[in-house]
Amino acid sequence: MLEVYMTNNNFPNHKKPYVFRSRNQTIYTQEELVKMIADYNSTVTETDAIAVMKAFEEVFNRIIARGDGVKLFMGTFRAGASGTAESAEEFFSPKPKVDKRTVKHDHKISLIFEPAASYAKDLLLIPFKWLGLEKLCYTRISSVKNVLRENCDYFYPSDVIEIKGTFIKVRPKYNEEGVFLLNNKTHEKYRLNQYFRATRVTIAAFLPADIPSGEYSLFIETEKGTSVNSIVIEIKKALSN
């Protein structure tokens, strides 16, 4: 269900004092989508759906990396450039600056979605729940990083995980709050108990020493509720001494 609410317009030079915003009650993961596809068609197994999804991901990434677009039933995905320049002679440079003395700029290339005209028209008919005037601060996860192993996209038990986001501060003394890991296969849930940083934008904590290997969905429970998104991480089998 789509929830629509009104909140204060904090943009500078705004012409109207309030703006409409929305949130989704449920966000389905790729794993959940695969199960739904398998349940939708009895001739397609979950293994088939996983294979197709994996192939789609690889082909999609290959096309986008070439600078081309992908047109699907709902619209077109493509890479797009944005940013500003001080003069007409300035060169577009989206790569991050390594030297801290280099002047920072806002040049970037992002993944852009352009809805198909027919699909955009159908969106106007989506039912929604009206919440009225609210002042909301969303708990959203933007990235995770293995602090002990740089440039590593997986984790081992007892590794230190750093989580970046907005309004992610938790109070570790309350068991209902914290960072949680849900095993995508067994559905066992684990809570991170050892924290050494917990601010509105950064959490750093140790992964449980006894957590089994597997694929996990990481989400956060704060005083305000559950994070609006989750991030899938891989935990490998503990290294032998």
**pLDDT tens-digit readout, 105-152:** 789 999 999 999 888 888 899 999 888 886 556 788 989 999 988 778
Q: Which CATH number fits domain 140-235: 3.30.310.50, 3.30.70.20, 2.102.10.10, 2.70.50.70?
A: 2.70.50.70
65-104 per-position pLDDT tens digit: 999 999 999 999 999 999 998 889 989 988 776 666 666 7
| pTM to 2 decimal places | 0.53
Query: What are the domain boundaries of the chain?
Result: 2-128, 140-235
Q: What is the pLDDT of residue 99?
A: 62
Distance separating alpha carbons of residues 23 and 40, to the nearest angstrom: 26
Q: Is the pLDDT at 60 greater than 80, yes or no?
A: yes
Q: CATH: 2.40.50.140, 3.30.1490.120, 3.40.190.10, 4.10.520.10. Which one for 2-128?
A: 4.10.520.10
The pLDDT value recorded for residue 29 is 84
Q: What is the per-residue pLDDT across 22-58, written as a single tens digit (0 to 9) for each? A: 888 788 888 888 888 888 877 888 899 999 999 999 9
* Helical H segments across the chain, by residue range: 30-40, 46-65, 117-123
% of the chain surpassing 90 pLDDT: 51
Question: Which residue(s) pair with 79 in the sheet?
Answer: 111
Contacts of 47 (CB under 8 A, 6+ apart): none
